[in-house]
Amino acid sequence: MHTVTQERMIRPARNVLGSLRLPGDKSISHRYGMLAAFAEGTSRFTNFSTGADCASTLACMESLGAKITRHEDSSVEVTGVAGHVTPADHPLDCGNSGSTMRMMSGLLAAQPGRFTLVGDASLSRRPMERIRKPLEAMGACLTLTEGHAPLAIDGGPLRAIDYTTPVPSAQVKTCVLLAGLQTEGVTTVREAIRTRDHSELALRAFGATIERTAESVSVRGPQALQAIDAAVPGDISSAAFFLCAAALFPGSSLVLDALGMNPTRAALLDVIAGLGARIAVLNLEEKHAELVGTVQISAPAEGLGSTQITGALAAQLIDELPVLAAIAPYTRGGIRIRDAKELRVKESDRIALVAKNLRAMGAEVAEFEDGLDVPGGQKLHGAPIDAGGDHRIAMAFAVAALRAEGETLIQGAESAAISFPEFFDLLDQVAER
């Protein structure tokens, strides 16, 4: 597929003010879409993610027999295949989406037939050995291309396993659970660092019984899923760009409504509060066990302090690290990030690309195999930014640009649409110039 490269000029801002309601969470939309397509009956979702990644999940599941209707207002209706997919006569295109490829592989490994999964250039470089290992231990046959996509699955009946994930990954956990859901016996996934638990909550919402302990999740298969109606909470990883933008301007005030506040996703709020921003959470509610609330943020008059992000926190904040690193030069004491080696195998090598783009803006930064040191108290200037086809890099540097001197040109700005097509318009709405 040929994508047209777009450039976006970002001018400095004086302040960030306003109130926004963000599109549905990408992680939750993937799971609701995939499970609904596999369940029995018709599910209805409002505020479904508008990102291209979740569209990839829906398109793949449609090719496998689900019926999907999308509406202009971001609502979606999904009629599922009641546990039996129809193998497609063409490769399933996961686009840029690691979540689609890894989670769907688990679902399909237990289904009779041959399935081929492909992705774009970025996804075709990302590690897939991590799903082949547990699925093969369950008896599935997965053929990779030098450890990557394209991948072929010869699906069929599997055996239950007890699996400890070597890297913290919610996608791998979900992959194994979706295979286990369809497999006789108890399948357990153990993780040393607890990753986002949307799959566990979503499986329960669709009627499955899931057992959890502090470090493990188990499913006894086979179990059938039943359709649900749900409103998808706003995406906190998309909110991260606005929260960080607001944190940069003394006098800022931003309100984000109906935002997902799942504790396995909300560590960013503690980190920004630790940097000195004032954060209030109002109207907390639970929807299908997902917490949703209103977040108010305002920045400290004296500017942001400093912080270190290491260990389990680095894993929990993995998607928010690019934007935290991008605003780090504007803090007083800088930000130190370690134990984040996974950043190198995301949609791009995010450690290298963050360092490169910070330097382009005149910042000093030290790059490590598993992180970055970004000193504080720096002044940045506008520069051409290479988004590297990575949505989170494009958006992170649009935020850094708000406090830079002069204009910043985001090259490859279209990649924001992978998770957040509305990003640049909403940024214009809240950035006072």
Total residues contacting ligand S3P by CB under 6 A comes to 9
- Of the candidate spans 150-158, 169-177, 254-262, 296-304, the one that interacts with ligand S3P by CB under 6 A turns out to be 169-177
Type of residue found at 252: S
If binding is defined by CB under 6 A, does position 390 make contact with ligand S3P? no
Length, in residues, of the chain = 433
Q: Give the nearer residue to ligand S3P in terms of CB position, either 318 or 355.
A: 318
Binding test (CB under 6 A) with ligand S3P, winner from 99, 122, 262, 357: 99
Query: How far apart are CB 33 and ligand S3P at their closest, in Å?
Result: 12
Query: How far apart are CB 325 and ligand S3P at their closest, in Å?
Result: 15
Catalytic one of 25, 319, 386, 390: 319
d(CA 223, CA 393): 40
d(CA 180, CA 209): 12
If binding is defined by CB under 6 A, does position 262 make contact with ligand S3P? no
d(CA 129, CA 143): 10
Query: How far apart are CB 19 and ligand S3P at their closest, in Å?
Result: 26
Query: How far apart are CB 195 and ligand S3P at their closest, in Å?
Result: 6
**Token pair listed for 106:** 């688990």
If binding is defined by CB under 6 A, does position 105 make contact with ligand S3P? no
User: What b/e string do you get for 90-122 counting C-beta neighbours within 10 Å, with b at 16 or more?
Assistant: ebbbbbbbbbbbbbbbbbbbbbeeebbbbbbeb
**Token pair listed for 368:** 């490590």
**Token pair listed for 198:** 């949307």
Site for ligand S3P in 184-213 (CB under 6 A): 196
Please count the CA atoms within 13 angstroms of the CA of 42 that sit on its side-chain side: 7
- Of the candidate spans 165-173, 181-189, 209-217, 253-261, the one that interacts with ligand S3P by CB under 6 A turns out to be 165-173
Site for ligand S3P in 22-61 (CB under 6 A): 27, 30
- Residue by residue, DSSP assigns 227-283 as --EEEPPB-HHHHHHHHHHHHTSBT-EEEEEEEE--TTTTHHHHHHHHTT-EEEEEE
Binding test (CB under 6 A) with ligand S3P, winner from 165, 171, 348, 357: 171
| Alpha-carbon distance values, 397 to 92, 187, 193, 228, 417 (Å) | 32, 42, 29, 38, 15
Among 2, 120, 115, which Cα is nearest to 63's? 115
Binding test (CB under 6 A) with ligand S3P, winner from 68, 135, 170, 323: 170
- Of the candidate spans 77-85, 146-154, 168-176, 297-305, the one that interacts with ligand S3P by CB under 6 A turns out to be 168-176
Calculate the CA 325 to chain-centre distance: 17
If binding is defined by CB under 6 A, does position 319 make contact with ligand S3P? yes
Binding test (CB under 6 A) with ligand S3P, winner from 304, 318, 343, 413: 318
Active site residue 428: no
- Of the candidate spans 16-24, 105-113, 167-175, 250-258, the one that interacts with ligand S3P by CB under 6 A turns out to be 167-175
Binding residues (CB under 6 A) for ligand S3P: these are 27, 30, 99, 169-171, 196, 318-319
Question: Which positions are catalytic?
Answer: 319
